Amino acid sequence: MADDQTVLGRITKIRGAHAVARFGKDAFNETDLVDENALSQGRVGDLVRIGTPRTLVYGIVSSLSVSQYDVDGSPQSGIMEVELIGETNTSSDVSATGFQRGISIAPALGAAVGPATQQDRDLVYAVPSRANITVGKVHPSNDVEAHLIVDDLLSKHFAVLGTTGSGKTCTTTLFLHAILDFCSHSHIIMLDPHDEYKTSFGDKAESISIENLHLPYWMLVFDELKEILVSEAKDTR
């Protein structure tokens, strides 16, 4: 478990849910001593914690860069950018209130950024009490499961984004399989113009194409029915 007194850096800028921290030369000197089993060492993707008078704010390290070099070219200080994701209320029973998304109290300038402990990680990534699905592991860990609350996922708009070949189709298939396994009687309509998902669901899906699509005439409005039944050529009307 990480030491609560360990300081990875100190806040120099806050803008909404985005924080910037500066760290010193010591962080670079310990590069060769990185413990692969450490929960958080300020690497990109790591969970970090920042204290306020009444809350403990959690964030994800999104970027690291060198801000100053020595005359010999060695790094002297660096910048850590953190996306703040939520908090716990330290003035009440944490086990009762739990982790809450969003920030009610922003960290102060100069506040210490520390590594997350095992207790922090269990709290932030706890299994939701509401109906949920498991969709993988939380990066960069290998043992923390990632959960999605089904009602929140399906009652709002969401998008799966990425460059070509990054795994958008596989991710979407994973989500849909997890939802179907959780609720076997659910019905999903997928518009698949590129025919990417035809083989992904086996007998769970019914593939409808222009070759096997049958529509009853009563579903068509008058203009659509006229276009089908009445020829444009006057001699064949």
What confidence score (pLDDT) does residue 2 get? 43
What confidence score (pLDDT) does residue 58 get? 96
The CA angle 28-38-51, to the nearest 5 degrees, is: 80
Residue 31, judged by CB atoms within 10 A of its CB (0-12, 13-18, 19+), counts as exposed
Distances in Å between the alpha carbon of 48 and those of 81, 149, 217?
11, 23, 61
Q: Are residues 105 and 170 in the same domain?
A: no
Q: Are residues 169 and 197 in the same domain?
A: yes
Q: Are residues 135 and 22 in the same domain?
A: no
What confidence score (pLDDT) does residue 199 get? 86
How far apart CA 76 and CA 68 sit, in angstroms, is: 5
Domain end call among 90, 107, 126: 126
* Residue 136: other Cβ atoms inside 10 A: 14
Domain range enclosing 12: 1-126
What total number of domains does the chain contain?
Answer: 2
Report whether 43 contacts 23 (CB < 8 A): no
Residue found under tokens 């959780």: 182
* Residue 196: other Cβ atoms inside 10 A: 13
Domain end call among 106, 126, 146: 126
Tens digit of pLDDT per residue, the chain (237 long)? 344 568 889 999 999 999 999 988 776 655 444 454 444 566 888 899 999 999 999 999 999 998 888 877 777 888 999 999 999 988 766 666 788 889 999 999 999 999 988 888 888 988 888 899 998 888 777 888 889 999 988 899 989 999 998 999 999 999 999 998 998 888 889 988 888 888 888 888 888 888 888 888 888 899 888 887 887 776 665
Q: Are residues 115 and 134 in the same domain?
A: no
What confidence score (pLDDT) does residue 31 get? 46
What confidence score (pLDDT) does residue 229 get? 81
Q: Are residues 57 and 99 in the same domain?
A: yes
What confidence score (pLDDT) does residue 22 get? 93
Backbone φ and ψ of 67, nearest 5°: -105, -20
Report whether 107 contacts 52 (CB < 8 A): yes
Q: Are residues 135 and 207 in the same domain?
A: yes
Q: Which helix (H) or strand (E) holds 118?
A: helix 118-124
What confidence score (pLDDT) does residue 75 get? 79
What confidence score (pLDDT) does residue 163 get? 92
